[in-house]
Amino acid sequence: MDENKRNFLKKGTLLGLVGLVNSIAGKEKFIHLKVATNYLSGTPSFKLPPLPYAFDALEPFIDKQTMEIHYTKHHQAYIDKLNANPSTNLDYRADDISNCKSVDVSTSPLVRNNLGGYFNHGLFWTLLKPNPKTESNLAEGKLSDAIRKDFGTFDNFKKEFSESAAKVFGSGWCWLIVKDGKLKITTTPNQDNPYMKVAAEQGNIVLALDVWEHAYYLKYQNKRTDYIGGWWNIINWKKADELFNTK
147: number of Cβ within 10 Å: 24
> Measured between alpha carbons, how far is 112 from 149 in angstroms, rounded to an integer?
34
> Measured between alpha carbons, how far is 205 from 194 in angstroms, rounded to an integer?
7
At 144 the pLDDT is 96
At 19 the pLDDT is 43
Sign of CA dihedral 52, 58, 64, 70: negative
At 215 the pLDDT is 97
At 44 the pLDDT is 59
Q: What is the mean pLDDT of each run of 10 residues along the chain (247 residues)?
A: 49 40 35 36 74 97 98 97 75 73 89 94 97 80 96 97 98 97 98 96 97 97 97 96 91
Length of the chain: 247
Q: Regarding the domain delimited by 141-244, which CATH topology (the fold level of the hierarchy) does it fall under?
A: minor pseudopilin epsh fold (3.55.40)
Say what the pTM is. 0.81
Indicate the domain borders of the chain.
3-41, 64-126, 141-244
Name which CATH class applies to 64-126: mainly alpha
Q: In what order do the strands lie in the sheet with 204-210?
A: 182-189, 172-179, 204-210
